[in-house]
A and B are shown apart, each in its own frame.
Chain A
């Protein structure tokens, strides 16, 4: 019994924290921050899932993870003029998946033996290339983007008006979380990926190609990034080059770090936590005198505190 509890410790700690935070916020009349935080946080969590997957399989901090999403947004934007919205959406996901595949093939694979810091620079290079091409093909300005529904219905949650697209986001994420959970515990491919991330040599020995899995993992990560972008960004009504890198990548990394960089549920819950903390803390009196928007500052503080105090992550296992 105790072993089962210990094996699920990351889940339990994360859930307990989330519930405690939710209760606290409702009790103090901050429902609005809670709901908004959960929706943005879910998107962070989704990007974070991609980061953790890639980190587990190739040991790379993938700085191109955000741009998988922005590229999908651009694809959606361009295809939306040509075809039906839902078809455009599908096309956008396919474009992102291709980008993930090509990144692994062209950049990551040749550098398999290189120091990890060099790989980090390489993925950052991919991100900048994507941003550069976005500015080149489009321009540096923000662009309007269509929402999934012509009419935005507002739904009341805890007495807070929420656009239905945000509810869709959460629902999508819940479904995805379950699908991913099943994938990694029930399917051969999923189990192989987990195995490859923990024991690469042993996995090779039983006849599974770690390298072939690697490209699959990158595709999955890219698709996750695309989903996060396609669901979360249109809420704002517009997007600009590099948006997923400048406003989603660092919160997502922080979420992944909260989960010790290795725990999938930890990363997702970490994302939700970051979202909530962000939406509460931006209005906190502590930051009142600081000029500009506070979202990045809050994330910076959280990241610094977590790394200095508990480098193995809040939800990570003891000896990470």
Chain B
């Protein structure tokens, strides 16, 4: 251990502080640098905003699903990324949101806006009740509770005929002015933008910082005056609100909600897309969510994909678009966890930082990973 006084800084630190200059010496891109960034930004905007205009309604519906899944990934990230608690029952929150919104519109005759608001509120309320009851439970046990809750939702909550419309499912028409697939797509993009903004602000204010502190070390967080249980509950409610919102958006995109899709497999796909996307990386989460929602679509679009697998002996049939996420997803997850624990977000970080007006640094992998205290019985 080298002695370090107030004025003396070791070489290593000096290297660090040069990489991330403090206060005065902030990096500013040159005019050409700004232009290059603007071109890339325009390209992204073109891809997201203009390209869908030329696609067929069924394709646009898929894109909208991608936007909705991005909201789901952001929702799960609040628990998994910020608090470090894993929810394996998120399909229940999203599903209840979907049915609530459909029920409000179809059975109660409410407006779409009211229905979305109620769905988000119900999502938050569910999390509040489940969280309040299981407030003491953390870590691996919390995962068990949420998984169990998801199965209960599947077996009991979705059996409420009034809410789900039984085997026929519940109708969920698109709102006025947004009847076409394209308009609804932009509406969902607007909702995604709101969620992104709220998430961004949250992490730049006290509530978000409290979450990051208690994720790493709840005891230290409590000496900062942070009420650990309350903050965890708060995060769960935020996650529930986002999930309920995503469910409502998915419902009206499909215009029909049926019971059998909200199962355990979907809960795992949600978790996988969040981890593969990259915890605590908004870019990565959006890409991860969209990628998994669009996986069936992408597989359909790849010419010859079905013939590719059909000739392999032992493989009885082609990998249909519906099954693909269940097989490709976990494989990506395992590769991801073992080789690139930071997910897509970490791999893209040099580019996203650059786009945000920082210096391009190919070695920037974000904050160093810190050993997290786990709950072990």
Contact = CB atoms under 8 A, between A and B. Distances in A.
Contact of A121 (B86, B317, B323): B86
B319 interface: yes
A311 B156 contact: no
B139 A117 contact: yes
SS of A interface (majority)? helix
A250 B143 contact: no
Interface string B253-275: 00000000001110011011001
A291 interface: yes
Interface in A222-260: 242, 245-246, 250, 253-254, 257, 260
Interface string A51-72: 0000000010101000000000
A121 B268 CA distance: 9
A173 B375 CA distance: 31
A118 B337 contact: yes
Given A124-B88, A307-B134, A250 B144 contact: yes
A260 B376 CA distance: 11
Given A116-B376, A135-B323, A303 B144 contact: yes
Contact of B341 (A118, A131, A294, A313): A118
Interface stretch (A5-13, A105-113, A180-188, A273-281): A105-113
Contacts of B327: 129, 132-133, 136
A128 interface: yes
Contacts of B371: 115
B268 A304 contact: no
A120 interface: yes
A118 B343 CA distance: 13
A61 B143 contact: yes
Given A135-B323, A291-B160, A303-B148, A311 B141 contact: yes
Contact of B268 (A106, A128, A292): A128
Given A115-B372, A261-B377, A300-B152, A128 B86 contact: no
B152 A297 contact: yes
SS of B interface (majority)? helix
Given A110-B338, A296-B152, A61 B144 contact: yes
Contact of B272 (A115, A125, A136, A320): A125
A176 B268 CA distance: 33
Given A262-B377, A311-B137, A135 B334 contact: no
Contact of B151 (A59, A132, A246, A311): A246
B159 A106 contact: no
Contacts of B158: 292
A116 B139 contact: yes
Given A120-B86, A129-B331, A311-B136, A250 B148 contact: yes
A273 B85 CA distance: 29
A217 interface: no
Contacts of B316: 136-137
Nearest to A138: B316
A122 interface: yes
A59 B139 CA distance: 12
Contacts of B161: 291
Contacts of B330: 125-126, 128-129, 132
Contacts of B300: none
Contacts of A132: 265, 323, 325-327, 329-330
A293 B144 contact: no
Contacts of B86: 117, 120-121
B84 A117 contact: yes
B179 interface: no
B134 A304 contact: yes
B372 A297 contact: no
Contact of B148 (A61, A299, A320): A299
B374 A117 contact: yes
Interface string B168-201: 0000000000000000000000000000000000
Given A292-B155, A307-B137, A253 B144 contact: yes
B114 interface: no
Interface string B126-161: 000000011011011101110111011011101111
A236 B341 CA distance: 41
A116 B137 contact: no
A4 interface: no
A135 B263 CA distance: 14
B323 A125 contact: no
User: Of residues A126, A129, A242, A253, which shows the largest number of chain B Cβ atoms within 10 Å of its Cβ?
Assistant: A129
B333 interface: yes
Contacts of A320: 377
A127 B161 CA distance: 31
B140 A61 contact: yes
B377 A122 contact: no
A260 B323 CA distance: 37
Contacts of B323: 132, 135-136
Nearest to A295: B155
Nearest to A59: B376
Interface string A33-53: 000000000000000000000
Nearest to B316: A137
Contacts of B319: 136
B134 A308 contact: yes
Nearest to B371: A115
Given A117-B143, A246-B264, A107 B159 contact: no
A165 interface: no
Contacts of A215: none
Given A294-B156, A304-B145, 5 more contacts: A121-B272, A132-B327, A297-B156, A299-B148, A300-B148
26 contacts: A106-B334, A107-B334, A107-B338, A115-B371, A115-B374, A117-B85, A121-B86, A121-B275, A122-B334, A124-B88, A125-B272, A125-B330, A126-B334, A128-B272, A129-B331, A136-B323, A136-B327, A137-B315, A242-B265, A246-B264, A250-B151, A253-B144, A290-B156, A292-B155, A292-B158, A294-B155
Interface of A: 59, 61, 63, 106-107, 110-111, 114-118, 120-122, 124-129, 131-133, 135-137, 242, 245-246, 250, 253-254, 257, 260-262, 290-297, 299-300, 303-304, 307-308, 311-313, 316, 320
| The 6 residue pairs across chains A and B that have the minimum distance between CB atoms | A132-B326, A292-B159, A129-B330, A291-B159, A132-B327, A125-B330
